[in-house]
A and B are shown apart, each in its own frame.
Chain A
Amino acid sequence: MNAQLGNLSDPGLQRLVPAEAIVRLEGVSKAYASRDGTPVPALDGINLAVPQGSVLGVIGRSGAGKSTLIRLVNGLEKPTSGRVIVDGADIAALPESALRHARRSIGMIFQHFNLLSSRTAAENVALPLEVAGYDKAAIRARVDELLALVGLADKRDRYPSELSGGQKQRVGIARALATKPKVLLSDEATSALDPETTRSILDLLSRINAELGLTILLITHEMAVIRSIAREVAVIDGGRIVEQGDVFDVFTRPQHEVTRTFLADETGRALPPYVAERLRAEASPGSQAVIRIGFRGPHATDPVLARLARDLNIETNILAGSVDEIAGRPCGTLVVGVPQASLTKTLDFLNKHDLDTEVLGHVS
């Protein structure tokens, strides 16, 4: 299990990549020329495979290279070295006209929507179809279908300035789907939206993924986006993928420091300030050990603390915690304090029950 969480830059692990990947980045590096001509690396040896029909999220801080990464997939950026394969075609090697054609099967949505202010919702959705040379009747029929799909049939003649942020992004999604793409690229598509609207846009994307079988590659800096929509996640830092795998595994057993930082904002993982302030690395007489217990999958709802008290007569002190659902599977985190004397027995008990444990420190 843990092998999958490692860095896929390791050539030995590439065998784990499913064969039917629709988007594949192979040893991709990208460097920009700086003002004085020296190359500045943006991406370094990226290997990434997006299986057909999946939702893969790439998360990273700003400047980590995620924006460059997503633009390599539709050829808006060219790699310095390596190959970018989308639906069997090497995007980086295509001549300009073939690339334009290939882009019709790769839709893209943007953080700031990028709608034409001079066109109505329907006219914006029609634009890729006009560009592709569809006739008027076909465009009209397709536009109506798309606006109905994103729930904006009644706004077809509104200009973007008359729409809310969420509605604009729905128009953006309809436009991206116009030419029936196989892959949808989402460039921070919900970063400019409030939480509730983000929710509804992510629901729409999930629905499109399920109903149309569309593969979605998204980049974001928000863990909340990954957890609610992605099945696989790649964590990018300093132009490299530092961790990659199933969302549930990465969320519940983060391996890399950057991943932990992203997860720190998630509820239940952060220590309350009054505990954090008093936390010491060394035990002292009469101190309590602070343990983080991770519940995963079927064990998430087990009454393990009650059993600990009943079977071993060890009383725990709950300091923080939450039970949640990630990628449709339950999981939870509890931070508890146990008397120093009972620490070993407690850990044995918890590990025996197949729970993840981590001793965070000691409080007196």
Chain B
Amino acid sequence: MSPEIIRLILAATGETLLMVAISGVLGTLFGLPLGVFLATSGKGELFAAPWVNSVLGVIVNAARSTPFIILVVAIIPFTRLIAGTSIGTNAAIVPLTVAATPFIARLIEGAIREVDQGLIEAARAFGASPLQIVLKVLIPEALPGIVLGLTLAAVSLIGYSAMVGAVGGGGLGDLGIRYGYQRFMPEMMLAVVVVLIILVQAVQSLGDRLARRLNKRIRHA
């Protein structure tokens, strides 16, 4: 491989990591409260607001059922409003965040719902407020599940980030399409795929290890 190819791959890997990291962090920032609310606002729950819960549920489902490539194009005006442009790595972060937020919210909702209802009852019994229950009981108890969910989200974002290449988003996917496919450079395509595989493996095993460390439910040797 020529130094030129290596330089291109390194730059694209940096772009991908940047997009995934920023949209992952922003998606968690928006998705965590949304997920907690979805998990606790059903009928008879801590922040019972069944009507708001249903509406949010429908919006989240709608966002999640829109194919990512369509979402990217559909929200171009919004992207321009936020990022000032609709092309490039920075612009790509906007649709990635919009896609990640409802996905992360659902994953966090699932993790929170796994927490034993008895713990909520115990916390209410010793006088904890709903907010204290969320912060001191639900999130700490759901943390291993939340970490696994965020790992899954990060892996999906690596996949999504390859698609934003279609709108000039940069990153590994863009590189693979433009050089590997359009200029017919199979070695470039192969290199891109290998780097993506390594990235996904690294993210997944990191997440698994962290979740295992946080999980005190099983005895560790």
Contact = CB atoms under 8 A, between A and B. Distances in A.
A207 interface: no
A50 to B, nearest CB: 17
A361 B217 CA distance: 57
Contacts of A185: 125
A100 B140 contact: no
Interface in A55-98: 74, 76, 97
Interface residues of A, number: 33
B119 A131 contact: no
B128 interface: yes
B127 A101 contact: yes
Nearest to A129: B126
B141 A131 contact: no
A97 B131 CA distance: 12
Interface string A98-117: 00111110111010101111
A161 B141 CA distance: 13
Contact of A76 (B125, B140, B141): B125
A107 B136 CA distance: 19
A159 B213 CA distance: 13
B32 to A, nearest CB: 17
B128 A100 contact: yes
Contact of B119 (A107, A116, A159): A116
Contacts of B128: 100, 127-128, 131
Nearest to B217: A117
Contacts of B140: 116, 118-119
B119 A114 contact: yes
Nearest to A99: B127
Interface string A32-46: 000000000000000
A130 B126 contact: no
A112 B136 CA distance: 20
A234 interface: no
A32 to B, nearest CB: 11
B132 A110 contact: no
A119 B136 CA distance: 10
B126 A103 contact: yes
Nearest to B126: A128
B118 interface: yes
A137 B194 CA distance: 54
- By Cβ-Cβ distance, the 10 closest A-B pairs, closest first, are A114-B122, A128-B126, A103-B127, A114-B118, A108-B125, A159-B216, A100-B127, A117-B217, A131-B128, A118-B140
Interface of B: 116, 118-119, 121-129, 132, 136-137, 140-141, 143, 214, 216-219
Given A106-B125, A128-B126, A161-B216, 9 more contacts: A108-B126, A110-B121, A118-B141, A130-B136, A131-B127, A159-B216, A160-B216, A176-B126, A179-B127
Interface of A: 74, 76, 97, 100-104, 106-108, 110, 112, 114-119, 127-128, 130-132, 159-162, 175-176, 178-179, 185
